[in-house]
Amino acid sequence: MKVRFYELDPYGHLNHSVYVQLFETGRVELLDEAGLGLHDLEGEGYRFVVTQIATKFLASAVGGDALVIETEVLEIRRASSRWGQRILRNDAVLATQEVVAAVTSTEGRPIRIPESMVERLTPYLVANSTDSSDREG
């Protein structure tokens, strides 16, 4: 992703709120790649709902920077998942984020993650994370 001029704050740095949007883009793209596109999930009666976000800003991006968003699944629980993300410029980590996302019905009720969803997310699960058979709520 390229940093655009209108995403900058008055100091010429990428505005902090844009980092959160970039991280969201990374998660949505991973879901698409896993065959779990948001519109398809909605049609099947499921939603991913962010319940927690913890972002660390380590260095500033500026206009014209080319950024890479890395996204991985850290843990799959019974009714939620935990995601880890990094935004990089070349090899420099600019920001990290950890997100917890619940799976709900389209009515907003938390539900158990269907096994088919777990199977599609498993290739993105980091090796040192909790085994899906030990999932917790």
Tokens 């950890």 belong to 98
Tens of pLDDT along 55-70? 999 999 999 999 999 9
Tens of pLDDT along 16-48? 999 999 999 999 999 999 999 999 999 999 999
Instruction: State the pLDDT confidence band at 132, using cuts at 50, 70 and 90.
Output: very low
Distance CA 106, CA 34 (A): 20
Distance CA 103, CA 98 (A): 16
Residue 134 has pLDDT above 70, yes or no: no
* 55-64, 87-96, 128-137: range with lowest mean pLDDT: 128-137
Comparing 78 with 133, the larger pLDDT belongs to: 78
Q: What letter does residue 65 receive in the DSSP assignment?
A: -
- Its pTM stands at 0.87
Residue 131 has pLDDT above 90, yes or no: no
Comparing 131 with 75, the larger pLDDT belongs to: 75
Tens of pLDDT along 92-127? 999 999 999 999 999 999 999 999 999 999 999 997
What pLDDT, on a 0 to 100 scale, did the predictor assign at position 48? 94
At position 111, the amino acid (one-letter code) is I
Number of Cβ atoms within 10 Å of the Cβ of 62? 13
Asked if 62 contacts 15 with a C-beta cutoff of 8 angstroms, the reply is no
Asked if 69 contacts 26 with a C-beta cutoff of 8 angstroms, the reply is yes
Q: What residue ranges define each of the domains in the chain, with the CATH number in brackets?
A: 5-125 (3.10.129.10)
